[in-house]
């Protein structure tokens, strides 16, 4: 069994290396599968189990990352970035950015230009919060011990956006959750930027009941990627909206609390607070 796992890993590593080196040719499933001497069906299933995404989606990630690099660090036009990435048209690049980045290539290159973001600082049972919103919904929420650092981190995500310190209805509605108004959770609007895999993980977290806990392996199984516990952990670590997307409800399989972007002590406090109130 261990020998087979080692062989499988070597095949996946070889496939990933092949995709990274040849993404500009946009190889299809059959071509990559042949490279590692597997049938397309077997390779598709094996790759998805190990990487957490399909070979096609992984190729898209690599392509978009290259286009992002060109748009951000060079004077490349959208046409140039499309050509250098190996895509057939600027329309395909546009569609990939929309599905993977949550914004158009132009918006990415402009760093959120013309995007109006409202932000405010608020108190919670677990310390101060920075909460930010676009006209579409909450785009960022983070526990913070230093308001200046927290605001700088938000601005780095959208370097060319317009920021205004203002508490709006979207923020107020989201903060009601700390008053145990959990029945209103479905009314909270989120405006998230993430990959399909990240969004799938974050959506699964929303299904963990208040007062309940899950594990990385369980989340991976629920998104039908049982071998992707590590990828799930990475996606959870990228959660841009503290508490509303309850990454604090995921612990290690051995029962340990585990890491938390905003501190293990805070995570423990949140879990205990929710458990007490859900029982009450």
Say how many C-beta atoms besides its own lie within 10 A of residue 13's C-beta.
12
The pLDDT of residue 20: 78
DSSP, residue by residue, 181-210: -GGGGGG--B-----HHHHHHHHHHTTSPT
pLDDT one-digit tens code per residue, 39-71: 989 888 888 877 666 888 777 777 776 666 666
Report, as an integer, the average pLDDT of 10-38. Answer: 84
CA atoms within 13 A on the CB side of 24: 9
At residue 168, the pLDDT reads 92
pLDDT one-digit tens code per residue, 124-145: 888 899 999 988 788 899 999 8
What's the pLDDT tens digit per position in 217-260?
999 998 888 888 888 999 999 898 899 889 999 988 877 788 89
Question: Mean pLDDT throughout 11-37?
Answer: 84
| 83-91 contacts, C-beta under 8 A, 24 or more apart | 84/24, 85/23, 85/24, 86/23, 86/24, 86/25, 86/26, 87/26, 87/63
Q: Which residues are the active-site residues?
A: 247
pTM of the model: 0.60
- Per DSSP, 141 falls in state E
Question: What are the φ/ψ torsions at residue 128 (nearest 5 degrees)?
Answer: -70, 155
Q: Does position 88 have pLDDT exceeding 70, yes or no?
A: no
CA-to-CA distance for 140 and 162, rounded, in angstroms? 15
Name, in order, each residue with C-beta under 8 angstroms of 164's C-beta and a sequence gap of 6 or more.
116, 117, 118, 119
pLDDT of residue 180: 61
116 pLDDT more than 80: yes
How long, in residues, is the chain? 280
Q: What are phi and psi of 87, to 5 degrees?
A: -85, 155
Structure tokens at 113: 């230009």
Q: How confident is the model at residue 100 (pLDDT cuts 50, 70, 90)?
A: very low
Q: 228: exposed, middle or buried (C-beta count within 10 Å: 0-12, 13-18, 19+)?
A: buried
């Amino acid at each position: 069994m261990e020998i087979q796992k080692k062989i499988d890993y070597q095949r996946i590593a070889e496939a990933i290396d092949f995709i990274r080196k040849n993404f500009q040719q946009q190889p299809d499933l059959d071509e990559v599968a042949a490279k590692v001497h597997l049938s397309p069906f077997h390779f598709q299933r094996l790759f998805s189990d190990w990487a957490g995404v399909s070979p096609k989606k992984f190729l898209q990630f690599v392509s978009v990352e290259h286009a992002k690099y060109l748009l951000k660090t060079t004077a490349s036009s959208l046409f140039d970035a499309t050509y250098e990435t190996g895509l057939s048209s600027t329309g395909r690049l546009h569609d990939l950015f929309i599905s993977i980045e949550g914004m158009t290539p132009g918006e990415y290159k402009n760093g959120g230009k013309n995007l109006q973001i409202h932000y405010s600082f608020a108190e919670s049972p677990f310390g101060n919060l920075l909460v930010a919103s676009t006209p579409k919904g909450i785009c960022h929420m983070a526990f913070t011990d230093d308001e200046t650092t927290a605001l700088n981190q938000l601005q780095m995500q959208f370097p060319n956006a317009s920021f205004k310190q203002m508490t709006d209805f979207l923020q107020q509605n989201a903060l009601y959750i700390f008053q145990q108004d959990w029945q209103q959770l479905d009314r909270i609007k989120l405006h998230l930027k993430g990959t399909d895999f990240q969004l799938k993980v974050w959506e699964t977290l929303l299904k963990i009941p208040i007062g309940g806990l899950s594990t990385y392996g369980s989340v991976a199984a629920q998104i039908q990627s049982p071998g992707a516990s590590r990828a799930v952990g990475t996606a959870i670590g990228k959660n841009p909206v503290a508490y509303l997307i309850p990454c604090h409800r995921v612990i290690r399989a051995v029962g340990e609390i585990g890491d938390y972007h905003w501190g293990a002590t805070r995570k423990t406090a949140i879990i205990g607070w929710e458990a007490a109130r859900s029982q009450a």
